[in-house]
Amino acid sequence: MLSKAHLILLPVLVLTLLSPACTWGASNDSGPILNTGECKDPGLPDEALVATMTHTFGDLREAGYEVDGRVRYRALRDSAAWDAYEAVVGCLREFDPGSLKTREQKLAFWINTYNVMVVHGVLSAGIPSSVMDVDSFFDNTAYNIGGVRFSLEHVEHGVLRRNSPKYMRPWPPFSKDDPALPYAMEKIEPRIHFALVCAARSCPPLRGYSPATVDVQLDEVTRTFLNRTVRPAPNGNGLEISSILQWFEADFGGRQGVLDLFRRWLEPGAVRGILKSEENPEISYSEYDWGLNDLP
């Protein structure tokens, strides 16, 4: 029997499925592309291009990223570091994602690409007060990488989440014949959800990732994010946690996997006390703040 929540959502789902925009996994190859600028170093070998991009990520952090995760978008937009980045990112049009051989190389490249593409999308949209004010921001913010269009949705759910449906959108990003499908990760790494930054105040802090240290870095951001966001529920019943853990609960192994995550990473305190006294505590989700992670 359908619950009241299902009955409320059913008309929305039906309308979505009947919409012309519902492509059931087909990538929108004709959509907008941000990295259209001239590549200043054509013919750069793939490995050298990745190294160059990693260097420019570091320059971008110094020019506009704050330790607390916010971004000084206006300062970044007017910086020499951003000009240098735009000259490099155009070269991605000739980059072969298949040149990324190891799991660590793939994780670092796609996480970094997603995060800086979000910043690029915010700047392109004129620095809105929220990315939710921009029409289909995550579908329409995209790069041409190796001749294939990768939107933010494609990178997160298609590549990093191994072509998994997103919350409330029950179809995969890539169809079975999509040219981007071969670049999907072999296995979902759930810690990416504490590394991907969607330009919202409730997102994890923004940082860069290196293949040599990506697992250590993912451990660090997991620990930091959970200890910042998991707290006793205001009503005194159980725990209040980030909505991210609701949207991607399956990636963590379901509800029990989420609780195991807490027991592994949370520091001593009130939450640990709840977990010790209650094997299966009640869980509620904090309201997600989609306000721009901007520091004017």
State residue 149's pLDDT score.
97
C-alpha–C-alpha distance, residues 230 and 228, integer Å: 6
Residue 280 lies in a domain: no
Give helix 103-124 / helix 214-229 axis angle, nearest 10°: 60
State residue 205's pLDDT score.
86
| Alpha carbon distances (Å) from 187 to 1, 57, 117, 129 | 34, 26, 23, 35
State residue 9's pLDDT score.
41
Residue 106 lies in a domain: yes
Residue 244 lies in a domain: no
Residue 117 lies in a domain: yes
Q: Which residues contact 294 (CB under 8 A, 6 or more apart)?
A: 70, 71, 72, 73, 127
Residue 240 lies in a domain: no
Domain hosting residue 96, numbered range: 29-199
pTM of the model: 0.89
Residue-wise pLDDT tens digits, 183-226: 999 999 999 999 999 999 999 988 889 999 999 999 999 999 99
Residue-wise pLDDT tens digits, 88-120: 999 999 999 999 999 999 999 999 999 999 999
Residue 81 lies in a domain: yes
Residue 179 lies in a domain: yes
The tally of domains found in the chain comes to 1
Residue 167 lies in a domain: yes
Given a cut of 50, the residues of the chain with pLDDT beneath it are 1-28
